[in-house]
Amino acid sequence: MEKKVAITMSVVIFLLVLFFSSFRTIGAGHVGVVTRFGAVNRVVKPGLTMKIPLFESVEVMETRTQLEQVDATSASSDLQEVKAKIALNFHLRGEKAVDVFQNTGTEYKERIIAPGIQEAFKATTAKFTASDLIGKREATKVLVFEELKSRFDKYNIIVDDFNIVNFDFSEDFNTAIEQKQVADQNKEKATIEAETLNIQAQGQTDAQKKLKEGGALSTEYLQFLAVQKWNGILPAATNGVPFISIPTR
């Protein structure tokens, strides 16, 4: 009797396991790829779905926007090493999830996304010098973005957004850039100082010209200016030229 009860309980438990394994919940932003004996059978939408126990299994594929960050390395057209962190937002075409599963598998990030970012970054940065990459970051971003969209579209991967988080160059190149910036700043400062002195000199010349033309630059006026500047000590020698004309009675 006990043996029959044990067998009955085992059968009941087995049937319950089969029953509950017949259901699978697919979360929002995902689709389920149902395979039967390893072959793709159908795609199911989010919600509760049924499958044949033991014969069918469900692979869940995310279709909402995902973020992938990759450390990319390449070389500029002047052979400077360029490093950058690339941030990519993308999503799968939900209706093509079967194709992605069959042709690429669930490891599409490792097989398609990461290598594709590296290749697109290398192809684009090779068109610019290192200095241009610093000044034309937005143009570089646009070119890489278009390259990625073209590369991933055939894999049913849609690129939503793309960003170059930062550019990094070799220590020698960074030092050279800093030295150039300092040199440019010093050159600009020297130019401004020279222009200021030139303006001051021209202003003084123009002022003296106006005084002379107006008759204000007379001998008496010059004597007055000399007295204003005099410290009260007569010069040791004036080469016969009177320092100050002192009127006599």
CATH code of the domain covering residue 157: 3.30.479.30
In a domain, 128, yes or no: yes
Stretch among 140-144, 154-158, 176-180, 243-247 having the lowest mean pLDDT: 243-247
- Is pLDDT at 111 greater than 70 in this prediction? yes
Domain termination site, one of 135, 169, 203 = 169
Between 232 and 86, where is the model more confident?
86
In a domain, 25, yes or no: yes
Q: Are residues 75 and 100 in the same domain?
A: yes
Q: Are residues 131 and 161 in the same domain?
A: yes
* pLDDT in the model for residue 225: 63
In a domain, 23, yes or no: yes
Find the mean pLDDT for residues 113-140. Answer: 86
Return d(Cα 237, Cα 210) in angstroms, integer: 32
* pLDDT in the model for residue 181: 57
Return d(Cα 200, Cα 202) in angstroms, integer: 5
* pLDDT in the model for residue 183: 56
Between 122 and 209, where is the model more confident?
122
Q: Are residues 51 and 87 in the same domain?
A: no
| DSSP 8-state assignment for residue 96 | G
* pLDDT in the model for residue 169: 75
Q: Are residues 55 and 98 in the same domain?
A: no
Domain count, the chain: 2
In a domain, 132, yes or no: yes
Between 124 and 206, where is the model more confident?
124
- In the chain, pLDDT over 90 holds for what percent of residues? 9
In a domain, 217, yes or no: no
- Cα atoms in the 13 Å half-sphere on the side-chain side of 166: 2
Find the mean pLDDT for residues 55-74. Answer: 88
Read off the pLDDT of residues 11-52 as tens digits, 9 standing for 90 and up.
778 777 766 777 888 888 888 888 888 888 888 888 888 888
Read off the pLDDT of residues 162-191 as tens digits, 9 standing for 90 and up.
888 777 777 766 565 656 655 566 677 767
Q: Are residues 71 and 155 in the same domain?
A: yes
Q: How far is CA 200 from CA 191, 203, 214, 226, in A?
A: 14, 5, 21, 22
Q: Are residues 104 and 137 in the same domain?
A: yes
Q: Are residues 122 and 156 in the same domain?
A: yes
Between 27 and 195, where is the model more confident?
27
* pLDDT in the model for residue 152: 93
Q: Are residues 41 and 80 in the same domain?
A: no
Domain termination site, one of 134, 169, 204 = 169
Domain termination site, one of 16, 34, 62 = 62
Find the mean pLDDT for residues 92-121. Answer: 88
Contact 123, 147 (CB under 8 A): yes
* pLDDT in the model for residue 43: 83
Q: Are residues 29 and 72 in the same domain?
A: no
- Is pLDDT at 222 greater than 70 in this prediction? no
Neighbours of 43 (CB within 10 A): 17
In a domain, 200, yes or no: no
Q: Are residues 52 and 71 in the same domain?
A: no
- Tell the residue number behind the tokens 């093509």, with chain if given: 96
Between 173 and 102, where is the model more confident?
102
Between 57 and 190, where is the model more confident?
57
In a domain, 135, yes or no: yes
Contact 131, 178 (CB under 8 A): no
Domain of 16 in residue numbering reads as 2-62
In a domain, 88, yes or no: yes
Q: What is the mean pLDDT of the chain?
A: 78
- Is pLDDT at 249 greater than 70 in this prediction? no
Q: Are residues 98 and 144 in the same domain?
A: yes
Q: Are residues 121 and 156 in the same domain?
A: yes
Angle at 236 between CA 232 and CA 237, to 5 degrees: 120
Return d(Cα 142, Cα 147) in angstroms, integer: 9
Amino acid at 125: T
